[in-house]
Structure 1
Amino acid sequence: MEKPLILVTNDDGITAPGLRALIRTMKELGDVVVVAPDSPQSGMGHAITVDSTLFSKKVVVDHKEGAPSEYSCSGTPADCVKLALRVILDRKPDICVSGINHGSNSSINVIYSGTMSAAIEAGIEGIPAIGFSLCDYSWDANFEPALGSIKKIVSEALTNGIPKGTVLNVNIPKTKSAPKGIRICRQARGNWKEEFDKRTSPSGKDYYWLTGEFELLDKGEDTDEWALAQGYISVVPTQFDLTAHHAIPQINNWNLNEQ
């Protein structure tokens, strides 16, 4: 029986420890092919390369026997998935997993996330897809406590499928031991209170660093932010149909067609 084909990607770059941990875990479930950015692409959202050259090459990061095929890509996470499906793979993957991201992609962060945009790109193509993020921005973050749960989530997705038009946004709390469990959640309402830190370069030119603090606007106990704060892994089914269906009746009452 043919093993599942698992496409693995990320936004932190092909050498990121989170990606390496995800690859090791996915090798226990199927045949793995890796297509990932050749440099960090965090915060790129669903950007794609349309006005410059896109490069890709086969690389060897893991020299151990049985290491998966790996390809670096000069573009964004969404580019990586497009390139994998159109150029690199000889059959459609059974699932696409993205991550493990170094840092949270809960709440409104999902909008900016390159990790989740790679998963969404796969979902648009009808491929079950999951984005994984650990709430620890450190490059040497400890991913080990979450790997058993990640394997379980992907295994269940392979067995049961993911609802059409949906991808999973999975966030993992920073813990020294295994998380308390897994909670299916909704995305918490929140935003960033942002500021630009103005500085001056040695040549006298002004430049800016984006800074800010996350503001949670949601006190619900069914949200990803609540689950993470309690030590649970949050799983948010996320759709890429951005239509605000509830708003259509109200806007239909506008006098748009009257002269």
Structure 2
Amino acid sequence: MSEAAPSPGARRQAPPRFYFSLRSPYSWLAHQELLARHPDVVERLEWRPFWEPDEESARALEAAGGRFPYVAMSREKHLYILQDVRRLTRERGLEPTWPVDREPCWEVPHLAWLVAQDAGRGPEFVGRVYRARWQEGRDICDPSVIGELGAELGLPAERLAGAARDPELRARGVSALLDVWRDGVFGVPFLIDGHDKFWGTDRISDFARSVRGRATRDGNRKCAKAGSPNAPADTVARSADGGHAGGCG
């Protein structure tokens, strides 16, 4: 039986969420933009992993009452993404190295992220793994590579390398995939602020405005409750999401 979905009020009060995938070039570019242009927003983020489950995780997810809301891309879409990412990286002065994924197991890096997050190094781990995959051409589904990257950050190499074989981390991974399903995440980067959802690299600025606007409104409400006579009116508009090319399917 699946767990109950959060109430509308709980969603409204939840911190802004960034669904990232260590597989996706668009998620990598969104990460770069958030750090470079919106560091104040990054400080408020709740980081959430998104990955295609292997057979073991997919069975456990279904048994828990969830499913993975993702459809494999066509050859045409894949070719478009190659062209699009080249264009986007040139604009940003980046030189990507396209990795070759041979029978990837995405639990390897994403469950290792849980270990890094527990140690307070989750964001640093994401940045290091992105660099390894997209700028160094390394295989991030190789447990030994993940162990090495973790060790560079002072994390336990063996625990990170063995994360996909750890039953406790596997169970936590299923919980993370249930969050993906409940939030209706169908691709990355996917960002959520309250009830508003934003998909794709070209929605990052809209998301940042929404997060800042909500912080301003929350501050105004606190001032009003405290009886401040100078609380400013709420004039910040929120933005909504729409389908587009710029989210990685």
Considering the TM-score relative to the shorter chain, is it more than 0.5? no
More helix by share: 2
Name the TM-score class by shorter chain: under 0.3
More strand by share: 1
Q: Which has the higher contact order (CA 8 A, sep 6+)?
A: 2
